[in-house]
Amino acid sequence: MRFRVRKTAHVFERVGLAMAGAACGLFVGAYVGAAISALTTQGFLLLMMVLGFVGFYLGIDTPQLPFDEAHSEIDAAEFLSAAGTLCATLTALASVAVIVLRLEPHLAWTWLALLGWIAGVAMQIVGGAKARMRK
């Protein structure tokens, strides 16, 4: 019984983090879509949200390697996941700031936000998948 409760709590936590990722994707999609007219579609917003959901579900709370002499090298999966989380959330924070403050940055910043988001969630997905494959 105790194992099932812990497992359920862990799934709830991961789904909550995934929903936060979807919200971040919505913010980035809203900012990018408002600045680049070709990306002003519901499909684009949905894609950004799904990428955030999957990235934050897999990339946050990755299983770590044991910390001992046999595993003294850098855990690439953990580092990739952490860097991706930082990149994705920084991009989302910047997107929210642009929306809330009603800024109109140069179009290059918009493309940088889109690329930063995609790179961040891609690193999360790859890092999370790699960490789970070694179990």
pTM: predicted TM-score of the whole model, two decimal places: 0.87
Domain count for the chain: 1
Range of the domain at 128: 2-67+75-133
Q: How far apart are CA 128 and CA 2, in angstroms?
A: 26
With contact defined as beta carbons under 8 Å apart, do 43 and 5 qualify?
no
- Residue 131, pLDDT > 90, answer no
Q: Dihedral sign, CA of 95, 49, 81, 4?
A: positive
pLDDT tens-place string over residues 65-112: 776 666 667 788 889 999 999 999 999 999 999 999 999 999 999 999
